[in-house]
Structure 1
Amino acid sequence: MESIAEVVAKHASMASTTVTIMEEVARWDEGVSLMGDSEKASIHELAGGRLVATYALAAQGKLGYHVDLDYPRAPNSSDGDKAMDEVVLSELLESTHREVDCQVCYNLMLDPVTTPCGHTLCRKCLARTLDHSSQCPVCRRGLAIPPSLHSQASNKTIVDLLNGLCPDIVTARAEAVAEEERPGEGELDTPLFICTLGFPNQPTFLRIFEPRYRLMLRRCVEGNREFGMLMYNRYYEPQGDLGPVHFYHYGTMLRILHAQTLPDGTSLVESRGLYRFRIKAHGVLDGYAVGSVERLEDCALADEERAEAEDISQPPAAENDVSGQVDRMPTRDLVALGHEFISRMQARSAPWLQQRVLDIHGQPPADAALFPYWFASVLPISDEEKYKLMGTTTVRERLKITANWIRRIESQGW
């Protein structure tokens, strides 16, 4: 308002001969009582164009809140008076824009939020700031508000002001921010969390505290709630066409079921595996990895049955050839082997099969396609060993991997 007053004062001092006639028009829809026949509408004459004169009338306290004005054309008015109003309006808009610029992005505020310390910023800018710090970016005071800002209301007064003054600019800003906030650019449309292993149909619990992943999480929650989980490639082993990258190129798509943000900005995330994928291309967006992924599907059931028949028809394996014996087992026997091993381990009260583990992952599934993923989720062996499941294309192949784990455990190979 101080900025507006300065603009008006400058033009008021320049107004010499121009006089604006203003006639009050009551707005009946606001509940103003009807005037009697003896009452006359107030008429005011003040120096300056319409904007300057109206401002002066309001500043003098003579313009009621529920009263509109009509502007009868003065005898000596001209097109120059209209041009003067346009100049004043242009300067008012320019002055107003400077006052409603965000102190983080230095653009027009978009969906402004006012902090408890009294500073108003774009909602997205404040959220991005809280991804990194719990302090106000203007005065550095601590902000006891969640980084998601879900419970923080927008500053309705400023929102209405901006929508009234410059709706086109507000729309353009919203479109630009929406473009920036998309999960990826071009084909790199999948956010990637490089951390550990996840498996289809199995829960994955995460604690997210890095600023880049806080941003990724917020975008996922606001979008389709999905992101890819990849295991860290600590030795930079070559990953197919990708070469020696810092992640393994097979991963699992996770869907966020629940995300809780703690006061310090850390988030506890509950997710569930949807399907496996392979990375085709990758890049970086705002500090976190993004990629183009290809869903990894199992081969047709007929092909799997053909492979099983070929395995079973092989000559018997040597007595000390454990892997060869597993290869020749029927798929049904591989599943039974897994369930029998679980039963024996439960009878021995194995720590990795305690009730709290089963409460999270459920009982061992009877479905042969799901059992290997469940088994890998609960079995306490290295992630590098579990990763062998990720690139497989048949249920039988995964069951043979789990059967070899069992045989090695039984023979004290681990």
Structure 2
Amino acid sequence: MEAEDFQCTLCLKLLYKPTTTICGHSFCLECFTQSLRYRAKCPICRSVLHAAFSSLAVSRDFSRLLEANFPKEYSQRRKEEEEKLLAKRRNKAGDEENSDNDEEDALLGTMVLCPVLPRQRLHLHIYEPRYRLMTQRCLEGSRRFGMLARASRGRTNTPASYGTEVEIVECEPLPGGRYYMEVVGRRVFHVLDSWTTDDYLTCKVEWVDLDEGSSPTASNGFSVRPIDPERTLALSANLEQMVEMWQSLVYERGYERNPDQLRRLYRDLGPMPPATSPGDRAMWVAALINPLPALGVAPEIRSNMLRATDVLERVEVVTEGIRSSLLYMKPTLFRTIASRTMTHAQKLFTFLFRHSWLILLGWWLAQRFPNFMPLPKSSLLLALRMVPPS
């Protein structure tokens, strides 16, 4: 019996703290846990596994058998795993310190693609080598990175100065080192500094409090306007009624791109924040009317929402955005009159086209028989009544 006969097919080393799946295959507990983060299938037979991380257990008898038969190799594996675990704990402690302390600056690997708002979900196909490397590093750490849009739609590739931290919630490895993953927006940040690391952008960022009177950029040279709390709360409270009207119009006029799009959108966004959190509520409404993929019924306001410097500006931007969307979906009096006028014109044209033979016949008779006595008016009306309706 050789140690090679008891290798883990994931790390190609001797099984350490082995766990056995319901399909009968064994792996290192840590290796199998990492595999489940990518795909809930057995790495060998591809059987679907409905297992939670908390339900995974070490096969004690199998572990003791391996340690008894291969003491040297098992001791070496224990040492390797303990060193790896210690390094992970140090990295995790650094990530938590970075995440919990909003006053300190944070470093984020960043993808330059499109604006994403907090709570929004986006599916990504990662195929570029630089972003494949960034994704791999994120999966080994906090599972979070930054998402930035371009500063303008011109030829310049300058990234925007405001973006959103996103978290990888699902990730599926594909052939060739590619990834297909789903991310969800978490927090808005402002870029303080940036540089290139292994061909992808790394940013030093500060977090933006959505409900503060002004963003942190106010201390970096931006002008700060006075905030009217009463106006801010009034606009925030009015958003609920506008959202109800917006939702009704989307349903009534069939603007959903696919079945249940709006229902799934509400599920992803969760409940609307209270009016007492105007900045957070404004972001929620912006994510609703500018979803991914877009409904095409509202102006694009995501970039404006991200770079808004105070809570009142955020509420004003989203209020104007949803008002424009309502005007787009709800016909005005001018549209109604124009629509009715066009309808009458179409009916007249259709009638003349369908009964042109009758008009031509009357013209021919008038030319052929000048002295032809026309039918009495009552007979003509009777003939017209016999014409089938259009």
Q: TM-score when scaled to structure 1? A: 0.46
More helix, by proportion: 2
Q: Which has the higher contact order (CA 8 A, sep 6+)?
A: 2
